[in-house]
Amino acid sequence: MRMALSGQRLRRVTVVVAALLTIGSASAASGMSASAASAPPSMANRVVPEPAVVQPSSAQYRITAGTTINVQSGSAETTAIATGLASLLRPSTGFALPVVNSSLQLHRRTTHGITLMLSGSSNLGPEGYQLDVTNSAVVIVAAQNAGLFYGVQTLRQLLPAAADARTRQSVQWIVPGGHISDQPRFPYRGAMLDVSRHFFGVPVVERLIDEISLYKVNTLHLHLSDDQGWRIAIASWPNLTIHGGSTEVGGDAGGFFTQAQYMQIVAYAKAHYVTIVPEIDGPGHTNAALSSYAQLNCNNVAPPLYTGTDVGFSSLCVSKSVTYQFEQDVLTELANITPGPYLHIGGDEAQSTSLADYTTFESKELPIVAAVGKTPIGWHDVTKINPPTSFIAQFWGTTTTDTATAAAAARGNKVIMSPANKAYLDMMYTPATKLGQNWAAYIEVKDAYSWDPGNYLTGVTGSSVLGVEGPIWSETLLNMANIEFMAFPRLPALAELGWSPESTHNWASFQARLGAQGPRWTVEGVNFYASPQIPWAPGTKGGVD
C-alpha cells in the first residue's frame, strides 16, 4: 500500500513539474515574464472526493458568452444533466449557455464548448467518468448517465466557488486543464437523516440531497420511525401519523410525509443519482406506533407519546399475529412507493425484547421484506439471529471487533460501515461543540477521515464491505442550519472514504482539498464547522453552532 502511495505521489509530482515548465514557456511566448504571471489554478488539490487519477496540464478552458453545453442527441437523461449544469451556471456567469442536443460529428462536439457523452465503454463502471479539459473544450465521457452526473460534480469543483452564486459575478470562469479518470471504490456511499426525533420537511431533505450529491454520495437513508415519531403516512394504519406523528423531541408539533411528498423526495433524489432507503425500526424504537394502536401492545394498552431521548424501552408484541399484519401492511405500502432496491428494518437496541422474541420477530420480518421484492438492510444487531445472506448489516459499534458481524460477513452477508466513533455525524466535534452528543466519541474532521472502511472491522474486509454511511441522528438538531453544521465538513470526509481509492488516502492532501470547499459553502450559505484542523481557502466564512 505504501509503495502504491509513493508511486502515485511521484507520478503527480512529475506531472505538476511538467505542467509548470509548460506554463513558463507559454508565459514567455506571450511576452509576460514567468514571475509576473500569477499562479494559474491547477486541477490538482481541488476535488473532494479525490479522483482515482488526476493529470493536470497547462491548458485552461474559459467559459464565455459563446460556450454551449453539448449532449448526444436522443438521450433525455443526459440532456437533463446538461440542463442542470446550465441552470446552475447561468445566474452566476450571466451567459446563455444553451444546451445543444447535437448531432454534429464527434470531433466538432468534442473540440468546442462543454460536451457530455455516453460511450459504449464499460471499463469506467456504472458510476465512473473521464473528464478532459483543453484550451478549447471540456469533455466528460461515461458509460452511464450516473457517471456523467459525477463528471459534472467534479467540473463544478474545478470552477471558482462563485459559480454557485445566485447572482451575476465578475469572475474569469476558468477550468484548469488536464485529464481525470475516476470511479468509486464502493458502490454504497450514504448519509442518513433521522426525521423521527425531530421532523424535517421536503425542502430540508431536498437541500441535503443537493449538498451531498456534490460529493458523489449516492444513498440517503431516511429514519422514518422511532419512539418519538412516525413520519410516513400509511393508508391502512392512518393513526400512525395522525397521532404518532403529532409531536417530537422536546414536545413541539412533529409532522410527517404524505406518500405524495415521499415520492417527490424519491424523484428529486433520483435526479441527483441518489437512492432513498426508507427505515421502519422494530421491534424496539416503536413507541410512536405502540401509542397509535393499542392492539400492537401485549397488554392492549397504548402508552402515551414520548418526547424524551432515552432508548431501549419499547417493543412491539412479538407473540401477536396482528404485529406481522402491521409489518406486512407497512412494508407493502412503503415498497410500492420506493423504487430503490432496499428497505431498512432497524433492529437496533431491542433492550425490552428477549433474545428469543427478537429472533422470532426478525425471522418473520425478513421474509416480509423479501416478499415485497426488496433487499433488507438492518443495524448490525440483527446479525445475532444468523440472517440469510441477502441481509445487509449496518455496523454502528464503537469497537473494531464484533463477532456476530464478522461471522455474518464470513457467511456472505454484506456490511455498510457506520462505526459510531468515526461516522456518527451527531457526535460533537470537540467538548466545546454545542450541538450533538458525545456517547461514542468526539469526532474532529481528522478522526472522521482517518480510518479505512475496507479494513476496519476484524473479519469484515474487501468485498464484504458494501460501503460507508454517515448517520445524522437528530435528538439535538432542530433545523437545516443544525444539520449542516454537523454534516459539514465530516460528510465529505466519509464520502471520500467511500469513493476514492485507498492508495489516494492522504490527510495533507485532504486538508488542502477540503479547505478549497470553504468558499463554495460560504457562497452556497451552508452552515458548516470551520474546523481549526483545515487551512480554509480565502473567502471562507464559517458557520455557527
What the block records as the C-alpha cell of 491 is 460528510
Which residue, 248 or 475, is less far from ligand NGO as judged by CB? Answer: 475
Contact 456, 423 (CB under 8 A): no
Of the residues 149, 237, 473, 528, which one makes contact with ligand NGO according to CB under 6 A: 473
Q: Which is nearer to ligand NGO, 129 or 379 (CB)?
A: 379
Pull the grid cell for residue 215.
Answer: 460529493
Contact 464, 394 (CB under 8 A): no
CB atoms within 10 A of CB 39: 7
Q: What are phi and psi of 297, to 5 degrees?
A: -95, 140
Nearest to 232 by CA among 254, 210, 206: 254
Which residues inside 335-354 make contact with ligand NGO, applying CB under 6 A? 348-349
Catalogue the active-site residues.
Answer: 349
- Closest contact distance (angstroms) between CB of 285 and ligand NGO is 6
Q: For residues 378 and 515, which CB has a smaller minimum distance to ligand NGO in the complex?
A: 378
The reply to whether 307 sits near ligand NGO by the rule CB under 6 A is no
Q: How far is the CB of 499 from ligand NGO (least distance, A)?
A: 24
Nearest distance, CB of residue 245 and ligand NGO, angstroms: 18
- Three-state SS at 280: coil
- Tell me the backbone φ, ψ of residue 72, rounded to 5 degrees: -65, 140
Q: Would you say 221 or 414 has its CB closer to ligand NGO?
A: 221
- Count CA atoms within 13 Å of residue 285 on its CB side: 20
Residues 192-221 that bind ligand NGO (CB under 6 A): none
Neighbours of 86 (CB within 10 A): 19
Taking CB under 6 A as the criterion, which residues in 273-302 touch ligand NGO? none
Minimum distance from residue 298 beta carbon to ligand NGO (Å): 22
From the CB of 437, what's the least distance to ligand NGO, in Å? 5
Residue type, 527: N
Question: Closer to ligand NGO at the Cβ: 58 or 291?
Answer: 291
For ligand NGO, the closer of residues 379 and 499 by Cβ is: 379
Q: Which of 424, 449, 521, 528 binds ligand NGO (CB under 6 A)?
A: 424
Rounded Cα distance between 196 and 245, Å, is 8
Per CB under 6 A, which of residues 310..329 are in contact with ligand NGO? Answer: 311
Binding to ligand NGO (CB under 6 A) within 352-411 occurs at 379, 396
For 173, the 3-state DSSP assignment is coil
Task: Give residues with Cβ within 8 angstroms of 399, minimum separation 6.
Answer: none
Question: Under the rule (CB under 6 A), what is the footprint of ligand NGO?
Answer: 311, 348-349, 379, 396, 424, 426, 437, 473, 475
